[in-house]
Amino acid sequence: MTAKPRILVTGASGFIGQHLVRRLSERGYLVRAAARQPVIFDDPNVEGIALGDMSRSFAAEYVVRGVDAVIHAAGMAHARPGLPDAAYTAINVDATRQLARAARAARVKRFVLMSSVRAQVGAVHDGIVTEDTPANPTNAYGRSKIAAEALTADLLAGSNTQWTVLRPVLVYGSGVRGNMATLMRLAASPYPLPFAAMKGRRSLLSISNLIAAIEHVLQAEAARDATFIVADSAPVTIADMLRALRKGCGRASMLMPMPEAAIVAALRKAGKGEIAELLGGDLIVDAARLRQTGWQPAEATADALASAMRERAAATDTDRTRH
């Protein structure tokens, strides 16, 4: 009998990590789920281990021992105003260096680094972003991600460990945090929302499409030693997102047209400049290079947003029942 492949997933307690661990186990992989704090999984295919503080030295050699592949999804996930570059470097760069070195020494077959489109561009960008768009990260988070990409390629070059870097756009799904969670809370409200006239378009990525992409690059020869943008098929406006989310919770869209400039000005006055930029600007990518290797985003954005909203509502109902 052929042994099941064993996959190390770092960041196993995060939004992407939790979904990834569950999906890999369902697909028959043995998963070593590593997180900062001990995580208990009620699953015979999953071994939970604690990494501790990855901004300091950790037992990378032990973590990678006996695995066939590494999916490095741990890191400081969101740009936080005021934090110096060094804070991002310690977690997103130095920890990646330790893990890549250990993977090379252990002759791990595949190393997948979860990066971000923010390694290339800012929150908004004129024109369509591809892998050939010159990298110009606009904050400490993006700079740490592009540095982690570079050292991964350098450390694993010429080794027995093939590497792949994935640059997802904003990922959404059940349990998401940050700006998308805020948008889902807005959609769940019973009030009309003034976003019908917002024209900015953004590429998004469902958690299901992302996990399918990760599974694909673990196996695809065409994905070895390469970097790929990952996104759903087509960009959407904020109005498109809200219509889909409200459909998922059984509400009418209830979107009203209000001048975009007025909305942006109000948000900036309230100290929400980043959200204003996200709502009003474009960030459109083209994931053609990854599609050419054989991956296709199976879920349409509207359907996936509605599904995420239904799952959110179900989880909320379950929590209320428990309490």
Residues 269-297 pLDDT 10s: 887 776 777 777 899 999 999 999 999 99
Instruction: Answer whether residue 318 shows pLDDT above 60.
Output: no
pLDDT above 70 coverage of the chain, percent: 93
pLDDT in tens, 211-254: 999 999 999 999 999 999 999 999 999 999 999 999 999 999 99
Instruction: Answer whether residue 1 shows pLDDT above 50.
Output: no
Residues of the chain with CATH 3.90.25.10: 170-203+232-323
Residue 4 DSSP class: P
Could you tell me the pLDDT band of residue 78, with boundaries at 50, 70 and 90?
Answer: low
User: Coil, helix or strand for 323?
Assistant: coil
Q: Which of 93-97, 171-175, 236-240, 277-281 shows the lowest mean pLDDT across its residues?
A: 277-281
Rounded Cα gap, residues 204 and 300, in angstroms: 10
DSSP string, 82-123: T--HHHHIIIIIIHHHHHHHHHHHTT-SEEEEE--GGGTS-S
Q: What is the CATH number of domain 170-203+232-323?
A: 3.90.25.10
* Mean of the per-residue pLDDT values of the chain: 91
Q: Which of 53-67, 106-120, 150-164, 308-322 shows the lowest mean pLDDT across its residues?
A: 308-322
pLDDT in tens, 177-213: 888 898 899 899 999 999 998 889 999 999 999 999 9
State in Å, rounded, how far the first CA of the chain is from the last one: 47
What residues contact residue 213 under an 8 Å CB cut-off, 6+ apart?
166, 228, 230, 290, 295, 297
pLDDT in tens, 30-40: 999 999 887 88
What are residue 112's phi and psi, to 5 degrees?
Answer: -110, 120
**What's the pLDDT at 13?**
92
Hey, what are 45's tokens? 């295919």
**What's the pLDDT at 269?**
84
Rounded Cα gap, residues 214 and 38, in angstroms: 24
Instruction: Answer whether residue 322 shows pLDDT above 60.
Output: no
**What's the pLDDT at 21?**
97
Task: Tell me which CATH homologous superfamily contains domain 1-168.
Answer: NAD(P)-binding Rossmann-like Domain (3.40.50.720)
Hey, what are 101's tokens? 């070195």
Rounded Cα gap, residues 247 and 241, in angstroms: 10
Residues of the chain with CATH 3.40.50.720: 1-168
CA 90, distance to chain mean position in Å, is 20
